[in-house]
Amino acid sequence: MLSSYRSSLLACIVTLLSLCPSSLTMADSISSSTAPYRLRFFHTHTGERLDIVYRLGNTYDPNALMTMSHYLRDHRTGDTRDYDPRLFDLLHDLTIALGRPTAEIDVVCGYRTPWSNEYLRTHGHGVARHSLHMQAMAIDIRVPGVPTSELRDTVLALHRGGVGYYASSGFVHVDVGRVRRW
């Protein structure tokens, strides 16, 4: 009941913000623009954890962005690519919208090289040929303690990119490409 109430409330807030002339931009976020932007991760394949402040106000920390891109490397090859910072802002805002700003996000999949993407695609994993994982613009996640359906609904309400729902695998795909869902 509370989860449904929170989702409805979030949807109303997002709708109201979209009607305002000063609605959210990439440099703005749901949280205070003077607060540190922190993310906490656990990588399900490497077992690594990361707790990092990547932005203060409207200024990204280049070293933190580099650290995060390395952390989200292709775990099969070790290759990295610079991540689109809008994805980190989306994840940050997602944790706030969930009412769990200190939540640790489980990373199921970050960056994928073209080789890894093709390997997964040809071995029946339902991977898109032109996946935004290869552009470092996507991530597959779960948040412990949050039902996958609630995670999906909350990120959909943010209306900031693609959202894929993989209920049987227990994760949600989030990207900063065009707004779409599957």
- Averaged over 83-92, what is the pLDDT? 98
- Averaged over 12-34, what is the pLDDT? 46
**Following CA atoms 161, 37, 76, 78 in sequence, which dihedral angle do they give, to the nearest 10 degrees?**
130
> Over 70: is that where the pLDDT of 33 sits?
no
> Over 70: is that where the pLDDT of 16 sits?
no
Q: In what order do the strands lie in the sheet with 171-175?
A: 59-60, 49-56, 36-43, 104-109, 138-142, 171-175, 162-166, 180-181
Q: How confident is the model at residue 34 (pLDDT cuts 50, 70, 90)?
A: confident
Q: Output the pLDDT for position 91.
A: 98
Name the amino acid, one letter, at 109: C
Name the amino acid, one letter, at 114: P
The overall longest dimension of the chain from CA atoms, in Å, is 47
- Averaged over 23-52, what is the pLDDT? 77
